[in-house]
């Protein structure tokens, strides 16, 4: 029950993660929603040319992430907004720690892949948002989209099986990305496209369930 509840809660976040390690990896729709979890992809590691030592250190970060998510869940005492804020902090913390393990070139390419993999949702990342010069008004509108997305995800996971919830989550995320893209100015949209860098083909992974 705790695992399911944590998944429901984390899935309600825009760039969420969960304590159960299965959900950090594909085919989970949560995989790749942070820099850390994207750096777990085999093809991403090959593209970045990360060493086995670096990969081991990244995996070690993942081992620490789960307990931090569980602690945030317990400390929130059911306060969804408080938990959302705390998990966002945790995600940013571990993304920063992951970045410290990579070279400047590797970090640059990882960010490009993050943008390609997540589409407009990547604009919720603090660093990317800053570079795009997202305005306060846009941030307010994005926050409204996040709140709507979170509620839809909660409803989806509470009304069906985890597998059905995951399928619904992908659709909701796609709609969320479209909503953010509509908020971009033409200049921001062009810059965002440029920030994605050279096109990369991600491995197609489907659920075996």
Residue 157: the pLDDT is 65
In a domain, 201, yes or no: no
In a domain, 204, yes or no: no
Closest CA to 95 of 19, 34, 32, 28: 34
Within 8 A by CB and 6+ apart from 127, the residues are 111
Quickly tell me which residue has 């804020």 as its tokens: 85
pLDDT in tens, 1-29: 333 334 444 544 433 434 345 567 777 77
pLDDT in tens, 174-187: 898 999 999 999 99
Residue 70 in this model has a pLDDT that exceeds 90 = no
> What share of the chain in percent tops pLDDT 70?
81
What's the number of domains the chain is made of? 1
In a domain, 207, yes or no: no
Residue 100: the pLDDT is 98
Query: How many CB atoms neighbour CB 32 within 10 A?
Result: 23
Domain region containing 114: 2-195
Closest CA to 31 of 199, 166, 157, 186: 166
Predicted TM-score (pTM) of this structure: 0.82
Region 145-166 average pLDDT: 73
In a domain, 203, yes or no: no
In a domain, 48, yes or no: yes
In a domain, 167, yes or no: yes
Residue 8: the pLDDT is 46
In a domain, 33, yes or no: yes
In a domain, 205, yes or no: no
């Amino acid at each position: 029950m705790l695992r399911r509840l944590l998944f429901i809660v984390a899935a309600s976040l825009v760039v969420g993660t969960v304590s159960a390690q299965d959900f950090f990896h594909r085919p989970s729709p949560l995989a790749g929603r942070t820099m850390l979890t994207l750096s777990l992809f085999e093809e991403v590691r090959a593209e970045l040319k990360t060493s086995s030592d670096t990969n081991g250190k990244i995996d070690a970060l993942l081992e620490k992430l789960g307990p931090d998510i569980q602690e945030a869940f317990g400390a929130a005492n059911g306060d969804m907004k408080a938990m959302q804020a705390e998990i966002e902090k945790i995600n940013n913390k571990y993304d920063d720690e992951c970045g410290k393990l990579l070279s400047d070139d590797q970090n640059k390419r990882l960010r490009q892949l993050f943008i390609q993999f997540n589409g407009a949702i990547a604009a919720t990342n603090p660093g990317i948002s800053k570079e795009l010069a997202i305005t306060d008004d846009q941030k307010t509108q994005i926050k409204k989209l996040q709140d709507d997305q979170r509620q839809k995800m909660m409803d989806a996971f509470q009304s069906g099986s985890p597998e059905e919830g995951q399928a619904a989550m992908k659709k909701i995320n796609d709609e969320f990305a479209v909503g953010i893209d509509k908020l971009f100015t033409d200049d921001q949209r062009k810059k965002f496209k440029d920030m994605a860098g050279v096109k990369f083909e991600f491995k197609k992974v489907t659920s075996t369930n």
